Structure 1
Amino acid sequence: MSLENIRSVCEEVLSRVIPEREETEKALRIFREVSSYLEPVLNELKYPYKITLEGSVSRDTHLRDDTDLDVFILIRYEGMRREWLEGLINKIAVVLDRFKPKKLYASHPYLRFKVEGIEVDVVPAFMALNVSEVRTAVDRTVFHTNFVKSRLSKDQVNEVRLLKRFFKGIEVYGAEIRTEGFSGYLTELLIIYYGDFINTIKGLSTWTPPQVVDFLKLYEDLKDYVRLYGRKPLILPDPVDSRRNVAAALSMKSFSTAVLAAKMFLEKPSLKFFYPQVDVSELSWDNIVSYISSRKTSIVGYLIHYLEGTSPDIIWGELKKCLRRGINVLKSYDFEVLDTSIWCDEVNTAVLLYEVPQEELTPYVLHKGPKVFRDVEVRRFLDKYLKSSDVVGPWISDYGELIILKPRKYKTSLEVLLNESKVILHAKHIVNYKVVKLGDLANLYLGNDNFKIWLYKFTHKKPLWL
């Protein structure tokens, strides 16, 4: 490990991630503009309220060309329920109509739109005076902002930017269901805890699950943390609300990816951890087909259309459940699943893919019956299969079992996905679907750059930073 090389890489990354002053000023101007549209509606409520800027811009940890705004409307109203919030959001949508806002849902409804290229979320929340009054995760955000502002030094904001860019580069940034990675708040806490980017990477490289990072020093024994928070890959008690694990959404895959990437970065620091690049010459469709053909595996799955306007978290949650059901169903019919992945445009189209060792299995499957000494079970087995023209056997194994070869219900993975689709794709927001092989995705590949990069990564497997 060369600290000189690491610092050289970090300096180059910082030159790319620190926002220009004009970008930050533009974001703050848009915040003020949006707030001015909100004020008349909120004045009619007759309840105490406050419009606040939360998120990375408020903490000065946002990245260049990656700025978004979290505009919170804090309202001190005990009767704040979903129906009431729906009414409020509808009124706000009217005054923000010029921005064409979309209504989305998390713990409750909020609005999302773009102004001059900057994505803006307008989020209503309960104005909690202390953490004990917090009702939803959204209500807790203002306390997170206050904690980070009080603990993160001016020098450390750029360390946060480095860590964010690192997590983005290795594709583990974001606590959304899509990624199940490191949230912005978790990233900021890690810098506060370890001091700077390099020490955080050193710490990461030594992590083993369940890993505890605790500002509060709540317990001495790991078992106590597991008892309280569950056996999660990373346990970081929220310093503003110790009942909550800030890293609860972090998956084992994202945790493991971060640990390995940290080890590799310390060993051989490079910009590719922050800005991984795909070799454009390898992106031809023929190259993808040839790559899969050379390893003699098969790629099958679903091309899905879902209800437009569905919240990303909701559709990703449904797609991940469908993917897992597909794995279980394929395995139940003797198809080994080598790898899986999901692509979603977060508009109305998604793809679920499964890579299997072979497309077609043998026509027959071995079926073991009872040992010959178990009279009742043997008689039942023989009555069912002895005179069946569909089976081969029965015969007696070396272990005294009755055995037959019986026809498989499905010989190909495509048959499984087609005939078991009602089980696999049981989801509220899926409108229609098509069972596909790799060749059926050529048009989507050639017409959508985002899908092209995703399919390249899925077929080539090795992370771009490795």
Structure 2
Amino acid sequence: MVKVLESIKRHILPLILPTEEEIQKLQIISDKLIRSLRAEAEKLDIFPSFIEKHGSTGIKQTQLAGTSDLDLFIGFDPSDYRNYLQLPAKQRKQALKDLFLEYVKDWYIPAAHQAGFSNYVLSYAEHPYLTVRHNQYEIDIVGCFNLDLEYILVNGPITAVDRTPWHSRIVSERLNSAQKNDVRLLKAFFQANYVYGDKNTLGRFGFTGFSAEMLILFYSDLESVFRNFTNLDKSGIDFFGRPIQKLRKLHRFQDDYLIIIDPVDKARNLASSISERAYKYANYQINHFLKSPAPSFFIKKSLSLPSPKQLSNIEPHLATIELSSDGAVHYTELRDKLYSVAEKLRKILTKESDGTTRFGTSLFELYFEEPTFVIIFFCQHTQLESTYLRKGPPPQKPHNVQQFLEKHPDAFLKDGFYYAPVQRAYLQPFSLITEFFQKAKPIKGLILTSISNKPSSLVAQRAASLMLDYILPLYGILPHD
């Protein structure tokens, strides 16, 4: 395997390494912005501890070819902001928001103008920051507090982004050039298999660049990551040496499918947002790779349109819901709301209200090419009998039996339980799905445009491809009644 993997690396790395020209172009833009930020800071009598380049294109240098985003972090000495930090938590949070908004308007924006950049947008996370756009480049200017690592380990960060400079330093200092290339290969693998980032991944959210870096840091190289990946959901990763059983008992981690503890903050799971499906498909593909290694696992292919024959075989099991965004709401908010709505419907499709199987295994995925958002559903069974047997209580619970018989006079005793024939409300999944979305509360920023079991638009067909080529094979499902 080692020789084969090395051969694949030699084939893939030239395709994914950034060129010197790419690196230089981004460096020229970022250096220009940094000089302007320093000059404007002097005018305002603001004295930051540092202005540094972070993210994969910053001091980490783990970016893939074509990466055109950069994070400029401005670090502030917390001792200069005691009057803010001594406030009660709720007041402090608002005061810091107001402070960073003031910095964006009075400092970052004038600095961007001074550097010759007029295309920018005010962005929000825990507090406001500025996103500067220039040609294909996107640079975030973010304020944070310059905290010692020991302080964060003991007290946690003041704001979430205070960890980021330490993330960059750990990657920069503790990964050698070969390991950074392994990070790039792991990112490429995740991207090629639609389990990377937060756009059109399998599941709501895929692996992040930082999670890829930490996997290489913990396991040392790509082959070891692949060898250990199948147990990652059971073993977890904790740079502080705590056993996974102990971590699973902590309330903050109980709902997380994967656990990879932030090496800067023992109270943070950096993998909390990674979807179960993203992990399972990555593991599925890694197992295939280990059996039959090939460069193709690292090369992302566009979603091909399903053939008419493929669609004719699967259409009875599908429903595509198309919605159009008016551009007023950010895609992440729309994505999260659509996932929540679709998950609610998935549960309804799977079982009747009493827990009896309805349409069997039901799966969905969200795919979008703004302004079009598509939810695609697959249901195992497409036609049900008009009635089913609802299971009731056992004879040993006479009060419950009486209530059940009052509601179902034709109930009968079988195998130690009462059962009653019940008329189904829906015999086909498509009718349930249609009624659900027609009655659902509208989502701000989205307009429902169509519901169909025949994916007709190109976006809907690509959503069908995601379902056919990736999701159904993962679950070993063949459409049948």
CA distance in 1 between counterparts of 2:287 and 2:400 reads 56
1:226 pairs, out of 248, 251, 254, with 248
**1:279-331 alpha-carbon deviations (Å, 9 max, x no partner):** 96xx35624522414xxx42124222345253343332222211211112323
Matched, 1:145 2:168: yes
**Count of residue pairs the alignment pairs up:** 442
TM-score by length of 2: 0.79
**1:144-177 alpha-carbon deviations (Å, 9 max, x no partner):** 1112222122332222212221222222223789
Instruction: Give percent identity, aligned residues only.
Output: 22
CA distance in 2 between counterparts of 1:326 and 1:153 reads 47
Q: Aligned in 2, Cα 1:114/1:214: closer, same or farther, shift over 3 Å? A: same
CA distance in 2 between counterparts of 1:267 and 1:249 reads 29
Matched, 1:169 2:192: yes
Residue of structure 2 equivalent to 1:235: 259
TM-fit CA distance, 1:13: 0.6
TM-fit CA distance, 1:222: 3.7
Q: Aligned in 2, Cα 1:329/1:212: closer, same or farther, shift over 3 Å? A: closer
Tell me which amino acid in the other structure corresponds to 2:195: V
Whether the 8 Å contact between 2:350 and 2:362 is mirrored in structure 1 is: no
Whether the 8 Å contact between 2:346 and 2:362 is mirrored in structure 1 is: no
Q: Aligned in 2, Cα 1:419/1:46: closer, same or farther, shift over 3 Å? A: farther
Tell me which amino acid in the other structure corresponds to 2:281: T
CA distance in 1 between counterparts of 2:220 and 2:411 reads 70
Matched, 1:51 2:51: yes
CA distance in 1 between counterparts of 2:166 and 2:350 reads 46
1:303-314 superposed matches below 5 A: 303-306=322-325, 308-314=327-333
1:419 pairs, out of 435, 438, 442, with 435
Residue of structure 2 equivalent to 1:458: 467
TM-fit CA distance, 1:96: 4.4
2:98 pairs, out of 63, 72, 83, with 83
1:100-249 superposed matches below 5 A: 100-129=119-148, 130-131=151-152, 132=155, 134-174=157-197, 180-205=205-230, 207-216=231-240, 218-219=241-242, 221-228=243-250, 230-231=253-254, 232-249=256-273
**1:41-75 alpha-carbon deviations (Å, 9 max, x no partner):** 54455443232210011211111112321122334
Q: Aligned in 2, Cα 1:108/1:383: closer, same or farther, shift over 3 Å? A: same
CA distance in 2 between counterparts of 1:238 and 1:117 reads 31
Whether the 8 Å contact between 2:190 and 2:207 is mirrored in structure 1 is: yes
TM-fit CA distance, 1:266: 2.4
Whether the 8 Å contact between 2:328 and 2:445 is mirrored in structure 1 is: no
Q: Aligned in 2, Cα 1:324/1:423: closer, same or farther, shift over 3 Å? A: farther
Whether the 8 Å contact between 2:61 and 2:172 is mirrored in structure 1 is: no
CA distance in 1 between counterparts of 2:303 and 2:337 reads 33
Q: Aligned in 2, Cα 1:381/1:234: closer, same or farther, shift over 3 Å? A: closer
Q: Aligned in 2, Cα 1:109/1:400: closer, same or farther, shift over 3 Å? A: same
Matched, 1:270 2:270: no
Tell me which amino acid in the other structure corresponds to 2:71: D
Q: Secondary structure at the match of 2:349?
A: helix
Structure 2: gaps of 5 or more residues = 85-94, 353-357, 477-481
Structure 1: gaps of 5 or more residues = 387-393
**1:387-437 alpha-carbon deviations (Å, 9 max, x no partner):** xxxxxxx2534458765544333344344334333886575x343224512
Q: Aligned in 2, Cα 1:377/1:320: closer, same or farther, shift over 3 Å? A: closer
Q: Secondary structure at the match of 1:209?
A: helix
Residue of structure 1 equivalent to 2:89: none
Whether the 8 Å contact between 2:253 and 2:269 is mirrored in structure 1 is: no
Residue of structure 1 equivalent to 2:91: none
Whether the 8 Å contact between 1:210 and 1:233 is mirrored in structure 2 is: no
Tell me which amino acid in the other structure corresponds to 2:8: V
TM-fit CA distance, 1:459: 2.4
